[in-house]
A = this chain, B = another copy of it.
């Protein structure tokens, strides 16, 4: 049964808050690295670049982990946020498409340190197979199903050309992956229950360009 008992009350954290929790987590790690053990919402908000009222409200969705008049214990709060996000253990991840971007991603040190573990690099190009990238052997794309099964992989990263992205996504979903991070500049269609997030350089630049154009308009040189 998927019935949620009142005691089991899975709190509903707003999406906007979920998107900020990783930022808080990183800010807390930075504070901890500086040897700071306690911080106020004001301190943490500054480090995370947000309004302190917003920060407190965000944290209140997780529970009451602060002490009035004192602030938050850095390590304790860090653990609570990590637990809420689900990165107290490492998530296995596969990367498909080991071209320019795939190489960079494979070498990205932030995976391991932030709750993820690259279990396989896959590419359709036979010329890449057996080659090592970041200490991991590149394997044929057709090994996807086996790798997902053996490692219980839930998260896949797509860094293939746009024309191939939908096919790769379909194969990922069929293999059992239910969360996809897509770097290809294309809209993926996936069945319900599968989450897709995209990272799109061109879109980000175009948003900047829009605002840049407006600045130039209102403020002649």
- Residues of A near any B CB (own CB < 8 A): 2, 4, 10, 13, 18-19, 21-23, 25-27, 47-49, 84-87, 91, 93, 100-101, 103-105, 107-108, 110-111, 114-116, 154-155, 178-181, 185-187, 189, 193, 195, 197, 199-219
Contact = CB atoms under 8 A, between A and B. Distances in A.
A189 B18 contact: no
B181 A22 contact: no
A49 B203 CA distance: 15
Given A104-B100, A187-B27, A189-B49, A21 B206 contact: yes
Given A13-B210, A115-B205, 4 more contacts: A2-B218, A26-B186, A27-B187, A178-B212
A2 B206 contact: no
A119 to B, nearest CB: 14
B212 A115 contact: no
Nearest to A193: B215
Interface centre among A27, A105, A210 (most CB of B within 10 A): A210
29 contacts: A2-B218, A10-B214, A18-B207, A19-B207, A23-B203, A26-B186, A48-B187, A85-B210, A85-B213, A87-B206, A87-B209, A91-B205, A93-B205, A100-B103, A100-B108, A101-B108, A103-B103, A104-B104, A110-B185, A115-B205, A115-B206, A116-B205, A155-B205, A179-B208, A179-B209, A180-B208, A181-B204, A193-B215, A197-B208
A114 B195 CA distance: 27
A142 to B, nearest CB: 24
Interface centre among A180, A202, A219 (most CB of B within 10 A): A202
Nearest to A81: B206
A160 to B, nearest CB: 13
B22 A114 contact: no
Given A100-B108, A212-B154, A213-B86, A25 B116 contact: no
B185 A26 contact: yes
A15 to B, nearest CB: 9
